């Protein structure tokens, strides 16, 4: 959130953080719409959703969950580091978060490629010949994980910006709003995955 | 205003939070293997909600934010759940 | 009123920061300049969509095709709806008067995130341009209506994707403004201004901003899903792809009903400012107005189903939505009583802003009562999708939000520009507008009751009289709009210099120069009293 004031007030960090929280609410409702659709179709076609979830590899999902949880911790630790004034540590924690995020994305990529090899890509004939509930499951699977992956990429970009801002000396012990807000965003990505994981992979 | 006064969580506490999250993940995975039938959805969603509130409270620092911030977070989730319930007034009584 | 001299201070209009000329506007982070940027862009689109509306009315002046065919009619009413709803009415009051006056009324120098504020204007313009582009790019203007109901919007061969993206982008702009206003109100009130010393227009913006933030994402994701349906062939709503079309209606109205309150709450806020000033009396029932705004915002979330009574939703949900639709009328009625009680016994000065504000009550009441007719399950079956509905929501949206906008512009014009428009001409323009408005929309109630469906370019001969009167009303209305705009534009530079407080208002914006300086306040004021304390109480 931009925090610079044209009238040169002191930067109001509380305002910046409140703004970020409210922005996160909009993200929650964005995914909320998808969860609502999921709930309706799941209630309608629970059989189809069971077999749909069976087609997904729960192992891949579990690994990705662990990866995201650990990355959430490293981001939180980078904030601790910056608060304690050790910029080097903060950058190191951020770098490890980025690596973990990349691992998540690579994992996701192979999962999708595998689905595509089975001809289960959006709009394919194999997909459309599926039974209705399973079809809806895969619609939601692609939409939810796709939108989530987009958020991972946005979060990654924010974290990279943070690293540069720390290096440039703009983010430091006395002023780390950007890092804090990027951290909040990254935790949101994790938060959404916490719900996506059981709903898509586990409920077989 | 002054970020120097902000609460600083220790590295160790982050470690503990992660540990509890990983244990809860393990529990959900195991629970679905057990197959509790109709209760599976309820239990997994419950565990997911616990995990989410842990992330919100400690990783996202809600514990150390103002009461107002905490309330609007709770309010947002409550509003979503209400919308969900009202939608199901239609779908469950058709 | 003083004669036409120049004012002495350097106002925000002349202030040039880092950038000169046109860039001092396009790159300005001054909330007042951004407010005016919104005003000009919204006014432009309003005129465009009003002319589209006139063309639709002209087509309906006689049975059979007169000036256009069915497909063109479908395209035009879609464009009219998209522009009016997403570009004019939803941002309207908040983005123009909210941006301009929210910081001033709470004693701040700017909003919390000035650069974000400018960004949201650019996002708004991109969205608006996408909406325009949908008319020309691709396979012909979209013909789905602004509601984009699936399955038709998933299958129509026209350029629906552009229109969907436009609505998505405009929603994003609305969200950014909402975030900005909430944080501004929380963090930037002048010292001493507790929550209940805040004027009521900021209160209404606060309630509105929460709806903007917590409802808009739902339409965002819904539109994205329809786009995915059209481009990737993954089904959610289209039965041909396995989806559920009713689910689209649910999601659409989960946003679009609260959106009605995004439109009307700031309008209520504007007239709440006007009644005390022109009655020289404190507002009646400050607390009740605050609580009713918040109540409308909250209950407004749970009435969306009343748009779907005939679509086959369950009996219990129809019962529930109908009940809550009646409940949400209560806080609106509370406000009406407050406004009337504010005027009661006051020393009323019937200037153009008050004329518009009083006609707001009148038109809003007609819109509200017909809304109850539609909210009742039995009558709804008869009236659904007739021109009765068209008349109802135009009374609410145009008669309500539109007239409140006109009231606001006439109220704050001297503050914004430091000049005064011609009051006589403004009164005449109001008379023409009001007459035209009622001639245009009232007959639609009657032919709607008789069975005239909405969105039809042709009709049976028995509806001819109603449609004919309605079209005459549309022409008068357009003349009124142009008279009003002429007045405001012509006297922008030629009008007499306005004093800083022409209406003897007591809220903070009247305590500073007209037009305000770049910084609004030389010294941030300290607030000791509740708002709306007039020096001489006219009663007792």
- Express each pLDDT in C412-422 by its tens digit: 999 999 999 99
Nearest CA in chain B to C313: B90
Contacts of B46 in chain A (CB under 8 A): none
DSSP helix, strand, coil percent of chain A (3-state; round to 5): 80, 0, 20
Taking the Cβ of residue B91 and every Cβ of chain C, the question of whether any pair is shorter than 8 Å is answered with yes
> A-C interface: how many C-beta pairs under 8 angstroms?
127
- Whole-number pLDDT of residue C338: 96
The pLDDT of A37-61, averaged and rounded, is 90
Q: For residue A4, is pLDDT > 60?
A: no
Q: Which of C186, C301, C317 sits opposite B89 (nearest CB)?
A: C317
Taking the C-alpha atoms of residue C303 and residue C325, their distance in angstroms, rounded to an integer, is 6
> Which sequence spans correspond to the domains of chain B?
1-60, 66-94
A165 vs A174: CA distance, rounded Å: 13
CATH code at position C352:
1.20.210.10
Structure-token pair, residue C50: 């009003």
List the CATH code of the domain at A29-202. 1.20.120.80
Contact assessment for residue C461 and residue C384, using Cβ atoms and an 8 Å cutoff: no
Closest C-chain CA to A29: C217
Backbone angles phi, psi at C453, to 5 degrees: -75, 155
Q: Testing the interface with B: which of C305, C314, C315 to mutate, by most B Cβ within 10 A?
A: C314
Residues of C in contact with B84 (CB under 8 A): none
Does residue C529 lie in a domain region? no
- Which residues, at least 6 apart from A111, have a Cβ–Cβ distance to it below 8 Å? A56, A57, A60
* Closest B-chain CA to A74: B14
Q: Could you check whether the bond before residue C151 is cis, i.e. omega within 30 degrees of 0?
A: yes
Asked if A58 and C249 count as a contact pair (C-beta separation under 8 A), the reply is no
Query: Tens digit of pLDDT for each residue in C319-357?
Result: 999 999 999 999 999 999 999 999 999 999 999 999 999
Token code pair at residue C287: 């607390």
From the candidates A62, A75, A76, which should be mutated to test the interface with B, based on the most B CB atoms within 10 A? A76
Domain presence at residue C183: yes
Indicate the residue of C246, C302, C314 with minimum beta-carbon distance to B93.
C314
Best of B20, B46, B76, B88 to disrupt the A interface (most A CBs within 10 Å) is: B76
B92/C507 Cα distance (integer angstroms): 51
CB proximity list for A65: less than 8 A, separation 6 or greater: A193, A194, A197, B25
Q: Does C1 map to a domain?
A: no
Query: What are C428-438's pLDDT values in tens digits?
Result: 999 999 999 99
pLDDT of residue A199: 92
pLDDT tier at A12 (50, 70, 90 boundaries)?
A: confident
With an 8 Å Cβ cutoff, the interface of chain A facing chain C consists of: 1-7, 9, 12, 14-15, 18-19, 22-23, 25-34, 36-37, 40-41, 44, 122-123, 128, 132, 135-136, 138-140, 142-143, 147
The answer to whether A44 and A127 are in contact (CB under 8 A) is no
Q: What is the pLDDT of residue C156?
A: 87
Residue of B nearest to C255 (CA): B83
Q: Provide, as residue numbers in chain B, all residues whose Cβ is less than 8 Å from the Cβ of A198.
A: 28, 32, 44-45, 47-48
3-state SS, residue A130: coil
Taking each helix axis as running N to C, give the angle between helix C315-327 and helix C329-343, from 0 to 180 degrees, rounded to the nearest 10.
10
How far is residue C496 from each of residues C7, C25, C421, C483, C490, measured CA to CA in Å? 11, 25, 8, 19, 12
Q: Which of A2, A6, A146 to mutate to test the interface with C (most CBs of C within 10 A)?
A: A6
Q: Encode C159-211 in three state secondary structure.
A: CHHHHHHHHHHHHHHHHHHHHHHHHHHHHCCCCCCCHHHCCHHHHHHHHHHHH
- Number of H helices and E strands in chain C, helices first, is 19, 0
The mean pLDDT value for A179-187 works out to: 96
Contacts of B66 in chain A (CB under 8 A): 14
- Residue ranges in chain C whose pLDDT is less than 70: 1-7, 536-540
- Å from C155 to nearest chain A CA? 15
Joined together, the tokens standing for residue C213 give: 């933030």
Return the closest-CA partner of residue A24 out of A41, A49, A1: A1
Structure tokens at A88: 């080097």
C314 interaction partners in chain B (CB closer than 8 Å)? 89-94
- Interface contact B90-C214, CB threshold 8 A: no
d(CA C268, CA C441): 21
> Is residue A91 over pLDDT 50?
yes
d(CA C226, CA C151): 10
Place of tokens 């179709």: A41
ipTM of the complex in this document = 0.93
Closest to B3 (Cβ–Cβ): which among A62, A174, A195? A174
φ and ψ of A175, to 5 deg = -150, 100
The answer to whether the CB of C509 falls within 8 A of the CB of C101 is yes
Give the residue, A126 or C275, on which the prediction is more confident: C275
C301 vs B91: CB contact, 8 Å cut-off?
Answer: no
Please report residues of A whose CB lies closer than 8 A to that of C178: 22
- Residue B3 pLDDT exceeds 70: no
Q: Among B11, B21, B84, select the one facing A77 at the smallest CB separation.
A: B11
**pLDDT score recorded for residue C18:** 79
Contacts of A40 in chain C (CB under 8 A): 244, 247
Q: What's the rounded Cα separation, in Å, for the pair C430 and C439?
A: 14
Answer whether the bond into residue C515 is a cis peptide, omega within 30°: yes
Per the structure block, which two tokens stand in for C387? Answer: 């021109």
Residue C460, min C-alpha distance to chain B (Å): 36
Which residues in chain B are contacts of A177 at CB distance < 8 A? 3
Contact A135 C113 (CB under 8 A): no
C188: nearest Cα among C178, C175, C202, C209: C202
Residue with tokens 């909330």: C31
**Cβ proximity of A38 and C228 under 8 Å:** no
């Amino acid at each position: 959130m931009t925090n610079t004031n044209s009238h040169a007030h002191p930067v109001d960090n509380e305002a910046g953080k409140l703004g970020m929280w409210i922005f996160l609410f909009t993200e929650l409702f964005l995914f909320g719409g998808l969860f609502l659709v999921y709930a309706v179709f799941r209630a309608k076609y629970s059989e189809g959703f069971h077999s749909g979830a069976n087609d997904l590899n729960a192992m891949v999902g579990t690994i990705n969950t662990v990866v995201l949880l650990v990355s959430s911790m490293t981001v939180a630790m980078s904030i601790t580091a910056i608060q304690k004034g050790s910029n080097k540590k903060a950058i190191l924690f951020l770098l490890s978060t980025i690596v973990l995020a990349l691992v998540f994305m690579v994992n996701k990529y192979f999962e999708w490629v595998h689905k595509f090899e089975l001809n289960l890509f959006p709009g394919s004939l194999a997909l459309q010949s599926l039974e209705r509930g399973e079809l809806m499951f895969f619609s939601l699977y692609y939409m939810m994980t796709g939108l989530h992956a987009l958020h991972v990429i946005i979060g990654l970009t924010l974290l990279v910006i943070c690293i540069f801002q720390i290096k440039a000396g703009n983010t430091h012990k006395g002023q780390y709003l950007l890092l804090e807000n990027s951290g909040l965003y990254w935790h949101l990505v994790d938060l959404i995955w916490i719900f996506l994981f059981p709903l898509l992979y586990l409920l077989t | 205003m002054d970020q120097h006064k902000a609460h600083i969580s220790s590295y160790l506490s982050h470690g503990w939070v992660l540990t509890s999250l990983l244990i809860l993940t393990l529990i959900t995975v195991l629970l679905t293997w057990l197959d509790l039938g109709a209760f599976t959805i309820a239990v997994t969603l419950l565990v997911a909600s616990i995990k989410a509130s842990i992330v919100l409270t400690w990783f996202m620092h809600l514990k150390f934010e103002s009461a107002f911030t905490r309330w609007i977070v709770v309010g947002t989730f409550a509003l979503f759940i209400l919308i969900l319930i009202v939608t199901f007034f239609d779908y469950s009584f058709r | 009123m003083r004669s036409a001299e120049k004012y002495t201070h350097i106002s925000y209009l002349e202030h040039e920061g880092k950038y000169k000329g046109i860039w001092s506007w396009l790159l300005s982070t001054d909330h007042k300049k951004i407010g005016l940027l919104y005003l000009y862009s919204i006014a432009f689109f309003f005129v465009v969509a009003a002319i589209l509306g006139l063309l639709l009315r002209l087509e309906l002046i006689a049975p059979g095709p007169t000036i256009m065919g069915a497909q063109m009619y479908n395209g035009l009413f879609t464009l009219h709806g998209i522009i009016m709803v997403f570009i004019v009415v939803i941002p309207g009051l908040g983005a123009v008067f909210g941006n301009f006056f929210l910081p001033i009324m709470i004693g701040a120098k700017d909003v919390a995130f000035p650069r974000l504020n400018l960004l949201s204007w650019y996002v708004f313009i991109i969205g608006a341009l996408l909406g325009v582009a949908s008319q020309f790019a691709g396979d012909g203007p979209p013909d789905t209506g602004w509601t984009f109901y699936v399955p038709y919007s998933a299958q129509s061969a026209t350029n629906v994707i552009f229109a969907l993206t436009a609505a998505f982008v405009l929603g994003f702009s609305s969200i950014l403004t909402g975030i900005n206003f909430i944080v501004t109100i929380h963090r930037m009130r002048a010292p001493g201004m507790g929550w209940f010393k805040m004027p009521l227009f900021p209160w209404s913006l606060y309630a509105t901003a929460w709806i903007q933030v917590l409802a808009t994402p739902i339409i965002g994701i819904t539109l994205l899903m329809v786009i995915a349906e059209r481009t990737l062939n993954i089904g959610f709503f289209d039965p041909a792809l396995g989806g559920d079309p009713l689910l689209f209606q649910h999601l659409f109205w989960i946003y679009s009903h609260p959106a009605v309150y995004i439109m009307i709450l700031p309008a209520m806020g504007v007239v709440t400012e006007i009644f005390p000033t022109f009655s020289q009396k404190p507002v009646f029932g400050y607390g009740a107005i605050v609580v009713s705004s918040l109540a409308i915002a909250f209950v407004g979330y749970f009435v969306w189903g009343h748009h779907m009574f005939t679509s086959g939703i369950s009996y219990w949900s129809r019962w529930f939505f109908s009940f809550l639709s009646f409940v949400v009328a209560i806080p609106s009625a509370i406000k009406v009583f407050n406004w009337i009680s504010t005027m009661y016994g006051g020393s009323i000065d019937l200037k153009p802003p008050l004329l518009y504000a009083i006609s707001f009550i009148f038109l809003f009441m007609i819109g509200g009562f017909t809304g109850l007719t539609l909210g009742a399950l039995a009558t709804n079956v008869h009236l659904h999708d007739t021109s009765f509905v068209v008349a109802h929501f135009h009374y609410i949206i145009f008669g309500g939000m539109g007239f409140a906008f006109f009231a606001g512009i006439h109220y704050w014009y001297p503050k914004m520009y430091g000049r005064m428009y011609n009051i006589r001409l403004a009164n005449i323009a109001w008379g023409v507008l009001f007459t035209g408005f009622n001639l245009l929309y009232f007959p639609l109630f009657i032919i709607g009751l008789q069975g005239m469906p909405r969105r039809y370019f042709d009709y049976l001969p028995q509806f001819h009289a109603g449609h004919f009167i309605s079209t005459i009303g549309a022409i008068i209305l357009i003349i009124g709009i142009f008279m009003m705009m002429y007045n405001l534009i012509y006297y922008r530079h030629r009008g007499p210099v306005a004093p800083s407080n022409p209406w003897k208002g007591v809220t903070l914006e009247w305590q500073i120069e007209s037009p305000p300086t770049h910084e609004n306040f030389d010294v941030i004021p300290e607030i000791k009293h509740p708002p709306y304390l007039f020096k001489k109480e006219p009663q007792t």
